Structure 1
Amino acid sequence: MDASSAFQDTLPISSDALLQRLDDWELSYRLHTHIPLRTVEDAKGVEEQFLVPGENSLRLKNLYLRDKKKRNYLVTLEQSREIDLKALGTELGIGNLSFGSAERLFQSLGIRPGAVSPLAMINGVQNDVRFFMDATAQTTDIIYMHPLVNDRTVAMTRDDLMAFFDRIGCAVTWLP
């Protein structure tokens, strides 16, 4: 199975169900559909279709990581930011980090590789996943991310994304 909406009914929470919750909670978003995106490079190839010129926006890359004690982390960064996992682990005081497997990603965040997103914390909070987000998100207006599948992108205001985190009980640790 891939990470597209064709297989969303195999997820603990489908993309459609997530979008319905956003609607129920009166959190606004713009929904864009596109080819499945698996990498930042893939995303850069289609983002011109939906970016609004002059908009103060943030496009993301997301890393599902684990430490030696088998604790799980979702790290969300500006898509072009370089990251050194060893330095990040030291900075966060959690030791060495490595990428989690596809199986653990599904168990912890309820998504498949290619669809990693801050919105997956709707599952992650129940599975003790710690969430770290690039501090640039604090000063941006619109944040683009996948709604649990990789052939859709939502654009949400920073305030609505923070309200989403509040609704699901997700603590955000900001990365400088």
Structure 2
Amino acid sequence: MPKTEAELNAFLADLGIGVSTIRHPPLYTVADSQALRGEIAGGHTKNLFLKDKKDNFFLVTVDEEAEVDLKQIHHLIGAAGRVSFGKPEMLMELLGVIPGAVTVFGLINDSERRVKVFLDQELMSHAVINAHPLTNEATTSIASADLVRFVEATGHDAAILKVTS
């Protein structure tokens, strides 16, 4: 069973990481997010759940405005050839979320560490990062350094890389 938002918040609290969360109607796209978010300071995420031909999985978290070259990104992230978007069933199995709610916080559900995560360098230049807390009905704000601590606490490497053009 995937972790709940409450379990995520408890995990963050156990790490001594403070966050703030704003509730809102479900958001499925960056455009939805921009239209309804109001004034939440910091960098806002766009998350790409990708797979390569050898069924290696990747989560690439970038700024909402970022342009990502999907024909070239495999070179940067060490994928076996070109990547495609992972199927919804694998998204749920590995990160415990549905399409439209993809989030770096989903790493809490990847106990087998099958997903390699990449945080874009430009996104991480923000003091505060905003992401869905396992649901697209809320936005959680977390300090960028604490986001790295969270990723590492899930057993993943927090690879910060320039993936945007």
Q: CA deviation at 1:125?
A: 4.8
**Structure 1 residues 78 and 125: CA distance shift in structure 2, 3 A:** farther
Q: Which residue of 1 aligns with 2:159?
A: 173
Counterpart contact for 1:63–1:75, Cα < 8 Å: yes
Instruction: Determine if the alignment matches structure 1 residue 88 to structure 2 residue 73.
Output: yes
Q: Which residue of 1 aligns with 2:94?
A: 108
Q: CA deviation at 1:90?
A: 2.7
Deviation above 6 Å: which 4+ runs of structure 1?
none
Counterpart contact for 1:62–1:75, Cα < 8 Å: yes
Unaligned runs of 5+ in 1: 1-10
Aligned-partner Cα distance in 1 for 2:160–2:153: 18
Q: Which residue of 2 aligns with 1:126?
A: 112
Unaligned runs of 5+ in 2: none
Please report the TM-score for the alignment, with normalisation by the length of structure 2: 0.91
User: Number of residue pairs matched?
Assistant: 161
Instruction: Determine if the alignment matches structure 1 residue 30 to structure 2 residue 23.
Output: no
Q: CA deviation at 1:31?
A: 0.8
Identical counterparts, % of pairs? 33
Counterpart contact for 1:125–1:170, Cα < 8 Å: no
Q: Which residue of 1 aligns with 2:11?
A: 21
| Aligned AA (2:32) | D
The answer to which structure has the higher helix fraction is 1
Instruction: Determine if the alignment matches structure 1 residue 51 to structure 2 residue 40.
Output: yes
Q: Which residue of 2 aligns with 1:151?
A: 137
* Aligned match for 2:55, one of 67, 70, 83: 70
**Structure 1 residues 131 and 18: CA distance shift in structure 2, 3 A:** same
Counterpart contact for 2:19–2:142, Cα < 8 Å: yes
Please report the TM-score for the alignment, with normalisation by the length of structure 1: 0.86
Q: Which residue of 2 aligns with 1:3?
A: none
